[in-house]
Amino acid sequence: MLYTNNSNKMFFLFILFFSTMIVISANSWLSCWIGLEINLLSFIPLMSTPLNLLNSEASLKYFLTQSIASINFLFSIMFGLLLAKNFFFNNLMLILINSTLLVKMGSAPFHFWFPNVMEGLSWFNNFILMTWQKISPMILLSYCMNFNYMILIMILNVLIGTIGSFNQSSLRKLMAFSSINNLGWMISALLISKNLWLTYFLFYSMFLFIFCFIFYITNIFYINQLFNFNFNYYIKFTIMLNFLSLGGLPPFLGFFPKWLIINYLILNKFVITTFIFIMSSLIMLFVYIRIIYSSFMFYFIKLKWFKLFMKNNLIPSIYFLNAISLLGMILSTLFFF
């Protein structure tokens, strides 16, 4: 039974990757829509497990939200083709298509489903939702962007992602708002160039992989689990380094993609936007440092319900991931020489 379940998951995972390739390589809007639908229908079985009610609830929320977005997307492309000659309607349809794609990727101000869905998923599914599921809408967004609308959206993303991160006890919700914040950076990278977007996306995916991997092997879902006295101190140190890297603190690798975007924004005279982006990053760093400080300074003697499931053979991989976060910035700057 277990073998059958795993083989089914692998099958749907393959379709998930394949559907994204359909969207990227499609030459018509209808093909893009078909690719998005296949993507949705392949991710639902990966999300839902019969033994967990939260997973079922999350998959239902995800299905309803994505279905509404898909209907709006189909409506937009149909009317966009009919009214393409009229400039006003063309502009309106661009905004409508952009909005449906923003709903699909969980961007602000259409983000309300995103933290709730993430709260009910495993770390593996969260990783897919925060990285792979954003590729298709992002690629489609790059084809038809209303520039002024996108500027507003990326500022909203960084602000809402920052404000939403406060007072979160769940690490999954914190990562969801962090993803919304980073989505603002990704949209700004997309406005500048696709290569810059790809660079930022790859770096961000790597940091998310490190977090999801560590939280998965240590079985952590809430911030107060980091206070556990039985917790390996080196794992705490790893989480601290990667939180600082995700926040974009200069010595770490996480600063490199943000540095590139800030550079391009200043060159293009987006001074106020750059200021908002930098201030939001500082506030996100404050949120991360507060969690790190609490986990290092306060601890419970022993809590029976905080069990740590970690294999010793995974420790070398954590050493390697730490080395990437620490030394990656030094290596990345060599590209400029």
Per-residue pLDDT, averaged over 175-184, amounts to: 95
More confident residue, 236 or 84: 236
The 3-state secondary structure of the chain, one letter per residue = CHHHHHHHHHHHHHHHHHHHHHHHHCCCHHHHHHHHHHHHHHHHHHHCCCCCHHHHHHHHHHHHHHHHHHHHHHHHHHHHHHCCCCHHHHHHHHHHHHHHHHHHHCCCCCCCHHHHHHHCCCHHHHHHHHCHHHHHHHHHHHHCCCHHHHHHHHHHHHHHHHHHHCCCCEHHHHHHHHHHHHHHHHHHHHHHCHHHHHHHHHHHHHHHHHHHHHHHHHCCCEHHHHHECCCCHHHHHHHHHHHHHHHCCCCCCCHHHHHHHHHHHHHCCCHHHHHHHHHHHHHHHHHHHHHHHHHHHCCECCCCCCCCCCCHHHHHHHHHHHHHHHHHHHHHHHHHC
How high is the pLDDT of residue 52?
72
The candidate with the shortest Cα–Cα distance to 101, out of 55, 50, 58, 146, is 146
pTM for the full model?
Answer: 0.90
Residue 336, pLDDT > 60, answer no
Environment class of residue 239 by beta-carbon count within 10 Å: exposed (0-12), middle (13-18) or buried (19+)?
buried
Q: What percent of the chain has pLDDT over 90?
A: 53
Q: How big is the CA angle at 201 (ends 98 and 34), to the nearest 5 degrees? A: 45
How high is the pLDDT of residue 48?
80
Distance CA 57, CA 298 (A): 34
Q: How many whole angstroms from its chain centre is CA 4?
A: 30
Residue 253, pLDDT > 50, answer yes
What are the tens digits of pLDDT across the range 257-311? 999 999 999 999 899 999 999 999 999 999 999 988 888 776 655 544 545 555 5
